[in-house]
Chains A and B, each alone.
Chain A
Amino acid sequence: MSTVKHRSAGPWFVAPFLILFALLFVTPLGYAAYLSFFQHKLIGGTVFVGLDNYAKAVTDPQFLRGVLRVATFFVVQVPVMLLLALLFALALDSGLMWLAKVVRLGVFVPYAVPSVVATLMWGYLYGQDYGPFAQLSRFLGLPVPKFLTDSWMLGSLANVVTWEFVGYNMIILYAALRTIPGELYEAAEVDGAGAWRTAWSIKLPALRPALLLTLLFSVIGSFQLFNEPKLLQTIAPNVIDSSYTANLYAYSLAFTGQQVNYAATVSFLLGAVIVVVSYTILITANRRRQP
């Protein structure tokens, strides 16, 4: 009796979400997929080209360079960001510090700042002539940091992204920590475990799923990196070119080059890269769990 109900009610719960999802995600996505099989020219109109766009993209140096750059970004920035988020979450959860509420809010606030504003602020701080770091260096007679040059830019971007998202990841991890049952801690205390010991042997294992979640979010965030480079482009247009990241390349193709079809192709290939990376991480994580 209850199993019949069980089966019939399920679709009703997921239907509203899935219908909107189909209309607002799947339809445009399908349309974009359809577009990726065509080529449009200002002179001559549209022709069906099959997989030509895909063949072109996999050897397109601009696309490959963009993917390589975001992969580098992922490998360097994400560990730093997640490690910081983890440390902050553990510190807040430890109950060992004063002003925990203030710190928690302060670290989270950047997440609530629109990236438009974030870039405005960092743009000033990075300033070569009037930025405070430049002025401080000059005052101390040190070489002036060149935040907005070719060799520094990826680091400068990583800093902005870290600044924006440490708090977000910290909150997710902190929330996960708060769900650890109190009995576990009591047991640990009975065993005479200190704060570090508790963190290592109880909290970290319990954080596994949450860490995996933040890692997967970060895969998507890194490989789809767009807002920050797009906005910093206004102050460093000669360093951040139109194909600086793969997503920026897709955007430039669609909006500057009027090559909507090829832009769709690039987006789908980037999506494929993200799927592969995400699944690799998931499979690795699950395999490690088994033994």
Chain B
Amino acid sequence: MSEPAERPPTTVYLYELAWILPSIAIPIGMLAALTVTAFGAGIHLPSHGGRVSPTQVAQTAPFDAPGVRQTGSGRYEVVMTSQIWTFAPSEIRVPAGSTVTFIATSRDVVHGLLIPRARVNVMLLPGQIARVTTRFDRPGEYPMFCHEYCGIAHHTMWGKVIVEPAP
């Protein structure tokens, strides 16, 4: 086996530089592209939504009356509580083309709300009110899952959004 080729340190320096510059440019470029597309598509992350005491959820408006209500033409609001091991409501009906805002929290441990086909993905933390908005364009059943481990029957915690053909 021959000795590895000697490379003068100055050449090493040039190779380093040739790698370093694109290594800075690539992550910045990717981040810029992502930020622009995310905001361009109107995608937002959950932010401050207010607090509610986890032990008082059932007595605190709006969570004292979970359910679906229409707030405008083609606009709906779903007030939802999560608790071991159910969503309330667990079956939601809206017409196709609806814009739906979920206002949700947890009454006990950490849960999550995942509606894969509607790009809803949010943590439901006791103490915090989560608020996410999405559109349901196509009629059909959209399953929704709890996607955070929440105890022995975690895998039984699910529900569905039934999107009915527009009248």
> Are A and B subunits of one complex?
no
B interface, CB within 8 angstroms of A: none
Q: Interface residues, chain A, CB within 8 Å of chain B?
A: none
